[in-house]
Amino acid sequence: MSQHPVSSSEPRPRRALICGIGGQDGAFLAALLHQKGYEVFGTSRDSASCNRDGLRRLGIEHEVQVLSMATNDFRSVMMTLSRVAPDEVYNLAGQTSVGLSFEQPVETIESISIGVLNLLEAIRFTGLPIRFYNAGSSECFGDTGDAAANEDTPFRPRSPYAVAKVCAHNLVNNYREAYNLHACTGILFNHESALRPRRFVTQKIVMGARDIAAGRLKQLTLGNLDIERDWGWAPDYVEAMWLMLQQARPQDFVIATGRTVSLAYFVERAFAQFGLDWRQHVRVDHSLLRPSDIRRGAGDPSRAVQQLQWAARHDVDHVIADMCRAARAADGTAAVGSDRPMKKPLHVEAA
């Protein structure tokens, strides 16, 4: 699409700006908003090199205008907000890897917390009636133990990534209270899909099982199989993001399925999808363990169920089955999670 200034005097549909549109959530959110009639803009540090694979695979690459914006550069953020004049801003930008945050803690803190601060300040300076969604993380809770975390559970971050997310969460709360901004954070537990790149353990497991079944790989190496997580379906979760910005009063929500299983369970079910016994093909390498890891992450989405009328439609078994179906479909065309386009748009059940 051509990039040109938009006249605010012209009647127009609602306009959304998705910061960090190149990832899994950005693509699914763009598809949802486009379906709802929004004019969708996305940002990437460099629009010319933005990863459009997710948009392409969902068949909406040409329905989204991608702009260059660096969230850690206040001037860049101000210029983008002034140009687009969005009704809603969804911040999905910043470093996304817990493991990488231990190796790049400074970049992680800056890309997440400073990025959120710049967006909040820019919204305040423009004076536009923008509704702001910030992508939080269940990593903020640390190890939840036997109790499922809700909005009142204290944060106990155990990684630089989680520390940065806690800082961003507190900034959103502060600006909401101090400046009356319509700003909120979605505290999302793990959510997956076939758009996940292979560096995420869920996709690594699915692709590994597929490649072993096809004879291309002999063994899959993983870290701690005893960790437990609440894994949901990404298209369900972007719907929750949108619902949060439709509320008259902004507030934070925990978004989860309410079901927690071990990584070993995920591995077993994924390998079973390809007719394999995972115990014959998986090796545990303790060098892959993180300096500090979360044993169990469990979420309580009761507030979202009651106030947003949102509930996860798909649990971990659906996630595993769908990711494995996509891996089979991609075999021989393009690898799931790669930068090469698939021959056909990815089919995803409607959220």
Task: Read off the pLDDT of each residue in 233-247 and give the average, rounded to a whole number.
Answer: 98
Question: Do the beta carbons of residue 194 and residue 336 sit within 8 Å?
Answer: yes
Task: Read off the pLDDT of each residue in 269-293 and give the average, rounded to a whole number.
Answer: 87
Residue 198 has pLDDT above 50, yes or no: yes
Query: Do β-strands 228-229 and 261-262 pair in parallel, antiparallel, or remain unpaired?
Result: antiparallel
Tens of pLDDT, residues 73-102: 999 999 999 999 999 999 999 877 777 777
Residue 338 has pLDDT above 70, yes or no: no
Kindly give, in sequence order, each residue whose CB lies less than 8 Å from that of residue 194, ignoring residues fewer than 6 positions away.
203, 322, 323, 326, 327, 330, 336, 337, 346, 348
Question: Do the beta carbons of residue 49 and residue 118 sit within 8 Å?
Answer: no
pLDDT (0 to 100) of residue 334:
41
Residue 285 has pLDDT above 80, yes or no: yes
Round the average pLDDT of the chain to a whole number and report it: 90
Tens of pLDDT, residues 165-183: 999 999 999 999 999 999 9
Q: Pick the catalytic residue: 76, 111, 113, 137?
A: 137
Residue 115 has pLDDT above 90, yes or no: yes
Q: Pick the catalytic residue: 161, 175, 239, 268?
A: 161
Lowest-confidence region among 50-54, 59-63, 206-210: 50-54
Beta bridge partners of 67: 43
Asked about 139 being catalytic, the answer comes back as yes
Q: Cα–Cα distance between 314 and 66 in angstroms, integer?
A: 30
- List domains and CATH numbers for the chain: 15-193+232-260+296-314 (3.40.50.720)
pLDDT (0 to 100) of residue 222:
95
Relative orientation angle of helices 74-84 and 115-126, to the nearest 10 degrees: 50
Asked about 292 being catalytic, the answer comes back as no
What percentage of the chain carries pLDDT values higher than 90?
Answer: 78
Q: Pick the catalytic residue: 39, 61, 88, 139?
A: 139
HEC letters along 148-175: CECCCCCCCCCCHHHHHHHHHHHHHHHH
Asked about 161 being catalytic, the answer comes back as yes
Kindly give, in sequence order, each residue whose CB lies less than 8 Å from that of residue 237, ignoring residues fewer than 6 positions away.
25, 186, 188, 191, 255, 312
pLDDT (0 to 100) of residue 294:
86
pLDDT (0 to 100) of residue 10:
59
Q: Which residue has the tokens 């190149």?
A: 22
